[in-house]
Amino acid sequence: ICAKLAKLGLDESRMLRLNALGRSVNTVSDELQRFCHVGVGEDGRQVFQVPPLQRLRSFKVVVTTCICASHIANSLRRDGAQSGWFSHVVVDEAGEATEPETLVPLSLIRPLAGRMVLL
């Protein structure tokens, strides 16, 4: 999805690909790494990280898995921010996800004005 959106004109200033924090950076193509937030781990190797909340809020699109959306929810909770701040949440292959998995990103929708699409 990230690669397709990039071809439509979204660049790394407007789109984030949030990966599992334990995933090896080397497993993600160079094409997609530019959309990821990468830092240096305790052992000196590159690791995926969650950007600071202020930076996270600057993205127009966040591409992630249902479970990795919990990193966003945790960041919001740590900063005491309101949980619902996405205007739209699209869950691709929603029929393949379990109901609890799907609830993670749906919990991030704005309470009154938010919309969800389950594909």
Residues 11-35 pLDDT 10s: 999 999 999 999 999 999 999 999 9
Dihedral (CA of 69, 71, 75, 77) sign: positive
How many CB atoms are located within 10 Å of the residue 110 CB? Answer: 15
Q: Say if residue 26 is exposed, middle or buried (CB neighbours under 10 Å; 0-12, 13-18, 19+).
A: exposed
pLDDT of residue 94 exceeding 70, the answer is yes
**What is the rounded CA–CA span in Å between residue 39 and residue 32?**
15
Residue 83 is predicted with a pLDDT of: 65
pLDDT of residue 84 exceeding 80, the answer is no
Residues 52-81 pLDDT 10s: 988 988 999 999 999 999 999 888 888 887
Residue 111 is predicted with a pLDDT of: 86
Residue 57 is predicted with a pLDDT of: 87
More confident site: 119 or 81: 119
Residue 112 is predicted with a pLDDT of: 84
